[in-house]
């Protein structure tokens, strides 16, 4: 993994990588602090020329530091069902379902928004999905390490199982009649986001309980999927905050 924020997030969680490369000649305070944290955690430190870091990061911005950490892995489908079946009755899970998000930058940005909004888990299909690689970890700025990502074999079938467990599924589609602000996210809920351009696949769309759209007031017809995801998730946060406030006053 690479990038200051991604490496710091890893170290802050007490998960020191086995080895860290720092760019030769770097004198920045941030890199020095990270190098010290990594050394204290038991990582081996090496100074390497910038071209070596560039080559390893495949042209992406590594910000002068690369950590060799244990690869992230998706959680299995069984883990999702066990977690939801044991969910406290007083709480309402909020899930994000990503259908056809194959771009690693969008995937990482969606994970970052999901973590910020307090999402309890992200669900992705085995096919038509981005990997949990170093670029995703960099863009997610630590969210990839903190939020569980569940990989399911058949997304439509998994969504049917979510319904059986009492989760209300809201999908986003540009042609939907209802606005995002008419949706109800106060109970157990899952938000489904489709790929840019194509949107959700047909079976995914049919598995939703309801479809909503973002009200677009300007000249553009759509937003980047990670931006749209953040807007939708924080509408859920807003609704849940109001419900909690009303419950405290009751």
d(CA 177, CA 158) in angstroms, rounded, equals 25
pLDDT of residue 152: 97
Residue 106 has pLDDT above 90, yes or no: yes
- pTM: predicted TM-score of the whole model, two decimal places: 0.84
- Residue keyed to tokens 């950490």: 69
pLDDT digits (tens, 9 = 90+) for 199-225: 999 999 999 999 999 988 777 767 899
Look at 42-56, 71-85, 231-245 and tell me which has the smallest mean pLDDT.
42-56
Give the pLDDT band (50/70/90) at residue 242.
very high
Q: Which residues are annotated as a binding site for S-adenosyl-L-methionine?
A: 194, 214, 223
d(CA 149, CA 83) in angstroms, rounded, equals 13
Residue 145 has pLDDT above 80, yes or no: yes
**What is the CB-side half-sphere exposure of residue 158 using CA atoms within 13 A?**
26
Look at 23-32, 59-68, 168-177 and tell me which has the smallest mean pLDDT.
23-32
pLDDT of residue 27: 65
Buried b (16+ CB within 10 A) or exposed e, 208-247: bbebbbbeeeeeeeeeebbebbbebbebbeebbeeeeeee
DSSP string, 182-242: G---SSSEEEEEEBTTTBS-HHHHHH-SEEEE----SS-----HHHHHHHHHHHHHHHHHH
Structure tokens at 206: 């049919």
Residue 9 has pLDDT above 90, yes or no: no
Give the pLDDT band (50/70/90) at residue 158.
very high
pLDDT digits (tens, 9 = 90+) for 36-58: 888 888 888 888 888 888 888 77
Q: Find out whether 35 and 20 touch, Cβ atoms under 8 Å.
A: yes
d(CA 115, CA 113) in angstroms, rounded, equals 5
Structure tokens at 18: 């086995």
Q: Find out whether 185 and 210 touch, Cβ atoms under 8 Å.
A: no
DSSP string, 58-115: TTS--TTEEEE-PPP-PBPHHHHHHHHHT--TTS--EEEEEES---HHHHHHHHHHHH
Q: What's the average model confidence in pLDDT over 117-144?
A: 91
Domains delineated in the chain: 4-68 (3.30.1330.30), 77-249 (3.40.1280.10)
Q: Which residues are annotated as a binding site?
A: 194, 214, 223
Q: In terms of pLDDT, which residue wins out, 28 or 63?
A: 63
């Amino acid at each position: 993994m690479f990038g200051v924020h991604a490496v710091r997030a890893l170290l802050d969680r007490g998960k020191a990588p086995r080895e860290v490369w720092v760019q030769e000649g770097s004198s920045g305070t941030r890199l020095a602090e990270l190098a010290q944290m990594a050394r204290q955690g038991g990582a081996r430190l090496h100074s390497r020329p910038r071209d070596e870091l560039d080559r390893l990061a495949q042209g992406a911005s590594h910000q002068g530091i690369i950590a060799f950490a244990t690869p992230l892995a998706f959680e299995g489908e069984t883990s999702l069902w066990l977690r939801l079946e044991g969910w406290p009755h007083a709480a309402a899970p909020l899930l994000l379902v990503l259908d056809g998000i194959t771009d690693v930058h969008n995937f990482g940005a969606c994970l970052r928004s999901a973590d910020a909004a307090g999402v309890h888990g992200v669900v992705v299909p085995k096919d038509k999905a981005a990997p949990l690689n170093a670029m995703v970890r960099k863009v997610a700025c630590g969210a990839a390490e903190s939020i569980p990502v569940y990989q399911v074999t058949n997304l439509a079938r998994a969504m049917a199982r979510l319904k059986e467990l009492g989760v209300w599924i809201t999908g986003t589609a540009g042609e939907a009649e209802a606005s995002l602000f008419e949706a109800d996210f106060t109970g157990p809920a899952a938000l489904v986001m489709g790929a840019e351009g194509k949107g959700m696949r047909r079976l995914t769309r049919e598995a939703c309980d309801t479809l909503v759209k973002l009200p677009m007031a300007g000249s553009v017809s759509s937003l980047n999927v990670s931006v749209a995801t953040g807007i939708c998730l924080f509408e859920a946060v807003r609704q849940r905050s109001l419900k909690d406030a009303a419950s405290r006053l009751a």
